[in-house]
């Protein structure tokens, strides 16, 4: 075997499946951002000019379940970023992680009691909440079994889909977050 043949045989081949599996959260986030951008653009075409502002009056006037949902979502968002940026596997990570799981479950469960401006039926965001409630225990079980790779994928996927993608859609016109941060 020549040196070139040895080099070519030792080099791993590109696998689209392996690339997709390694980048699934980035792909999902990109798809969510594109979908959000398209829906927002279509809605904003029908509206007068929009201006940024911060007005907590809509949140303060909202029902208690909405306040619980928003508080849990803010907790998930901040603790989730701290967990992803911090050191993994230590006691602090575990304590914050269990708190994050409780807040994430609270966010998902409370979403089933909330309905959007389109009526009183479930939406895609509710499907993400159901998916979250299925994946959370799987991520915990993976960590307990020592399968850190599966744990990381499950929890990062829940954070990406359940918080970032679903969270983006709460900023659409007519929704509470829109009313807090924007005015026409």
Question: For residue 74, what are its two tokens?
Answer: 């803010």
Burial of 56 per CB tally in 10 Å (0-12, 13-18, 19+): exposed
pLDDT at 10: 57
The DSSP secondary-structure symbol of 52 reads E
Structure confidence by residue, pLDDT tens digits, 67-120? 999 999 999 999 998 998 888 889 999 999 999 999 999 999 998 888 755 556
The pLDDT tens digits of the residues spanning 146-182 come to 999 999 989 998 998 888 888 888 888 878 888 898 8
pLDDT at 44: 77
* DSSP label of 27: H
Mean of pLDDT values over 6-25: 68
At 30, list the tokens.
């990109």
Cα–Cα distance, 52 to 38 (Å, whole number)? 20
Phi, psi (deg, nearest 5) at residue 146: 85, 10
Secondary structure percentages of the chain, helix, strand, coil, to 5: 70, 0, 25
Burial class (CB in 10 A: 0-12, 13-18, 19+), 63: exposed
Token pair for 31: 């798809």
């Amino acid at each position: 075997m020549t040196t070139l043949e040895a080099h070519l045989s030792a080099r791993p081949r590109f696998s689209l499946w392996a690339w997709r599996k390694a980048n699934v959260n980035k792909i999902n986030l990109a798809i969510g951002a594109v979908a959000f951008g398209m829906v927002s653009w279509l809605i904003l075409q029908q509206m007068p000019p929009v201006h940024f502002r911060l007005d907590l009056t809509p949140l303060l006037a909202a029902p208690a379940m909405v306040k619980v949902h928003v508080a849990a979502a803010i907790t998930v968002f901040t603790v989730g970023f701290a967990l992803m940026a911090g050191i993994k596997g230590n006691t602090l990570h575990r304590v914050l992680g269990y708190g994050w799981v409780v807040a994430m479950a609270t966010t998902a469960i409370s979403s089933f009691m909330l309905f959007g401006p389109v009526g009183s039926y479930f939406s895609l965001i509710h499907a993400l909440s159901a998916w979250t409630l299925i994946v959370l225990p799987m991520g915990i079980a993976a960590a307990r079994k020592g399968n850190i790779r599966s744990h990381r994928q499950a929890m990062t996927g829940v954070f990406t889909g359940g918080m970032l993608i679903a969270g983006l859609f709460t900023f659409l016109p007519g929704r509470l977050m829109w009313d807090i941060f924007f005015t026409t």
